[in-house]
Structure 1
Amino acid sequence: MIRKALACALLAAPAFASEDIADQYPQSVLYEKPVEVIPHVYSAIGATAPPTYENAGHNNNLSFIVTGDGVIVVNAGANAKLAEALHQEIKAVTDQPVRLVINENGQGHAMLGNSYWAAQGVDILAHADAKAVFEDNAFQILSGMQRYARENSDGTEAVGPNLTFEDRYDIEMGDMTIEVLHLGPAHSEGDISVWLPEQKLIIAGDVAFHERMPPIFSETCTSCWIETWNEAFEPLGALYVIPGHGHPTNVAQVRRYTHDYLVYLRGKIGEHLDNGGSLNDAYYVDQSPYAHLDTYEELATKNAGVVYTEMEFE
C-alpha cells in the first residue's frame, strides 16, 4: 500500500520547492526531518536554495538505508553539526549502527560532515576523483562553509574518505543489495549514484536535478553528462529517484529538468554560435522555460557562459 501511494505521488506533477520557504524543522539544525521514501530508505530533504546560515548548509539530501545489519548513510553533510543531527534521527528510527558513509561527490555538503562520522569510527567511501578534488580544495571548501555557517561550523574538520573506488562498489548488507556506481561524467568530478536494484530506487546524487536548476561548472562536460544519462543512468530503469537536491520523484521529472535542460541549453548556445554570437550575448540566451526553478537567478547566466565556452571549439 505504501509503495502504491508513493508511486502515485511520484507520477503527479511536482510541487516545486522555493528558496523563500522557511526552515521546515526549526528544532533541529537539519532543514527538514528525514522521511521514509520507501520502506527502510530515508532522506532528509535539504533546501533548494544556496547554502546559508539559515539552512546551515543543509541544501542537499542526506539519506540513509536501514539494511537489517547496519545503516548506510549517503552524504556526510556540510558540517559536523548536520552529521550529528542526522545521526540522532537515525537513532530514533533504529538501533542498528551506522556502518558506512558514502560521499556522492567531492563538494563540501557531501564531505565536510566526514569529520563527525570518522570520529565515530565509521568507514567513508567516495569515488577516487571526488576524494582528490576534495583534498585539493579542502582549505577553500572548509573556509567557505565556516563563513556562512558561523557557529554551526564548530567542530568541523576537512576529512576525506578512507575508502575509494573507480567504477562500482558492491555491498551486501543485511537484507539489502546496494550498488555504488560511477555511471560516467556528469555534474562534477567523481559523481556517484547509489542503486538499490531490488527496490528499483536510485539515490542519484547530482547526476539528477528537478526542483532547482542544475549548476554547470567549468569542469563539467555537458555532452558527456547527456551521454551518461542516455547510456547508463536511465537504462537502470529506476522507479524511484532521490535526487541530489529536491524531493523524491521519478525518472520522467528528473529527465525533464536535467537531461532535457542540458539538451535545450546546448541547442540555444549552438544556434547562438551558428549566428556568430559572442560570449557576452550568450549569457542572455532564452532559458525562460526553466525560470520557475529555484536558483535560476543565480545560475542561468553562468550556465550559459560555461556552455558557450565548452561548445565554442567542439
Structure 2
Amino acid sequence: MWRFLTVILAAGAAQAHEDIADKYPGSMLYNKPVEVIPHVWSAIGATAPPTYENAGHNNNLSFIVTGDGVVVINGGAAYGLAKALHDEIKTITDQPVKLVFNENGQGHAMLGNSYWAEQGVPIVAHEEAAAEIAEYGGSILEGMKRYNGDQAEGTSVVGPTETFDEEYIVEMGDFRIEARYLGPAHSPGDIVIWLPEQSLVISGDMAFHERMLPIFEHTYTADWVETWETAFEPLGATYVIPGHGHPTNMDQVRRYTHDYLVYLRGKVGEHLEAGGDLADAYYVDQSPYAHLDTYEELATKNAGRVYEQMEFE
C-alpha cells in the first residue's frame, strides 16, 4: 500500500529534472497530492525555480488529515495555488481545514495565506517569519506577479493570525503536531512540523535534497550546521518530507544539506587559508553536487556568500 514511499526511500537521491513538464495539467498544482504515510499527504513541487509553467509550486504543500480536521503546512505561492490544494483536500476528506502553518516567510510559504484567510482558517508562523512577511511581503508579491501573470489573481499579502517563539503544539484527532523552531537555518523563522508518534518530520527549508539548497544573504551557514547537529538530527525522524523534493529519509537530507554545507565551508576555508580572493572563491570545487537541480543557478552564488561569511568568522 505504501509502495510510493518505499520506492522513494530506496531511490534515495534519484535525480529530478527541471525540464519535466507540469505533472498535473488541469490544476495549478505541479503534482497531485500523494499519501506519504497514512493520513499525511504532500503535493510535491517542482525542483526548478518558480515559473509560470509551475505556477510557483516549487515547494512541498503538505497536509494532515487528523480525524477531527485538516492541518495544512504551507500557504502556497498564490491564492489560486492554495485554492487548488484545498480542492484536492476536499476530494480526499470532508473534514474542514482548521489550521495552516507557514514554514517561513518566503513567498511559496505564505502568499496563499490570502486564500486561507478568506476561508476563515487560522494561520500560524514563527514570529521571525511574521516580521519577514510584514517587511518584505509587498516586494515578494510583486516578484511573484512578474512570473505568474494571470495566475497571481486574488493574491494579496496576509500575515499569520498567530505567532510563536519556540513551539506550537496541536492535539487534533489522532495526531500530536509539534511546530518547532529549532534555531537559525535557511531563512528567518524556519520551522519544522514534527509528528512524534509517526516519526515523521515535515522539515521545510531545514532540509534539502534533489535540488541544491540556496544560501541567501541572511543564511548563516555555521548556525545552520549547528542547528542541524544539536536540534534537527536528534529528532531521529524515520520519514522526512523536505521543503523541496520527494519524501525521503534522514540519510539523504543529511547528505545534501548538512554534509553539503560542511563540504562547501571546508573548500572555502581552504581557499581563504591560501590567500584566495572572492573572485576565485566562486569557483571552488563543488563537482560532487553538480547533479543536483538548480546547481547551475546556485553553486557560484553559494560559494561567494560562504566566502563573505567566513572571511569575518
Amino acid in the other structure paired with 2:248: T
Give me the whole-angstrom Cα distance separating, in 1, the residues matched to 2:5 and 2:289: 26
Give me the whole-angstrom Cα distance separating, in 2, the residues matched to 1:9 and 1:242: 11
For the residue of structure 2 that corresponds to 1:37, the secondary structure is strand
Describe how 1:133-148 pairs up with structure 2 within 5 A: 133-148=132-147
Partner of 1:299: 298
Task: Report deviation, 1:15.
Answer: 2.2
Question: For 1:222-280, what per-residue CA distance to the aligned partner results, in whole angstroms no more than 9, with x for missing partners?
Answer: 01101111111011010000000000000000000000000000000000000000001
Amino acid in the other structure paired with 1:193: V
Amino acid in the other structure paired with 1:40: H
Question: How many equivalent pairs are there?
Answer: 313
Q: Is the 8 A contact 1:113 1:156 kept in 2?
A: yes
Give me the whole-angstrom Cα distance separating, in 2, the residues matched to 1:162 and 1:291: 41
Give me the whole-angstrom Cα distance separating, in 1, the residues matched to 2:289 and 2:7: 25
Task: Report deviation, 1:312.
Answer: 0.1
Give me the whole-angstrom Cα distance separating, in 2, the residues matched to 1:239 and 1:273: 38
Change (3 A) 1:228 1:297: same
Task: Report deviation, 1:11.
Answer: 3.6
Give me the whole-angstrom Cα distance separating, in 2, the residues matched to 1:10 and 1:169: 29
Q: Is the 8 A contact 2:201 2:241 kept in 1?
A: yes
For the residue of structure 2 that corresponds to 1:264, the secondary structure is helix
Q: Is the 8 A contact 1:11 1:250 kept in 2?
A: no
TM-score (norm 2): 0.98
Amino acid in the other structure paired with 2:245: G
For the residue of structure 2 that corresponds to 1:207, the secondary structure is strand
Does residue 258 of the first structure (1) align with residue 254 of the second (2)?
no
Amino acid in the other structure paired with 2:60: N
Does residue 53 of the first structure (1) align with residue 62 of the second (2)?
no
Give me the whole-angstrom Cα distance separating, in 1, the residues matched to 2:42 and 2:178: 18
Does residue 210 of the first structure (1) align with residue 200 of the second (2)?
no
* Runs of 4+ with >4 A deviation: none
Amino acid in the other structure paired with 1:47: A
Give me the whole-angstrom Cα distance separating, in 1, the residues matched to 2:34 and 2:142: 31
Amino acid in the other structure paired with 2:142: S
Q: Is the 8 A contact 2:55 2:151 kept in 1?
A: yes
Give me the whole-angstrom Cα distance separating, in 2, the residues matched to 1:284 and 1:153: 37
Q: Is the 8 A contact 2:74 2:110 kept in 1?
A: yes
Give me the whole-angstrom Cα distance separating, in 2, the residues matched to 1:8 and 1:51: 27
Report the identity percentage: 71
Tell me how large the CA RMSD over aligned residues is. Answer: 1.0
For the residue of structure 1 that corresponds to 2:267, the secondary structure is helix
For the residue of structure 1 that corresponds to 2:125, the secondary structure is strand
Change (3 A) 1:9 1:109: closer
Give me the whole-angstrom Cα distance separating, in 1, the residues matched to 2:217 and 2:283: 18
Give me the whole-angstrom Cα distance separating, in 2, the residues matched to 1:128 and 1:243: 21
Does residue 20 of the first structure (1) align with residue 24 of the second (2)?
no
Partner of 1:99: 98
Amino acid in the other structure paired with 1:238: A
Give me the whole-angstrom Cα distance separating, in 2, the residues matched to 1:219 and 1:42: 31
Task: Report deviation, 1:139.
Answer: 1.2
Partner of 2:287: 288
Change (3 A) 1:162 1:313: same
Task: Report deviation, 1:9.
Answer: 4.1
Partner of 2:37: 38
Partner of 1:162: 161
Give me the whole-angstrom Cα distance separating, in 2, the residues matched to 1:6 and 1:142: 34
Partner of 1:75: 74
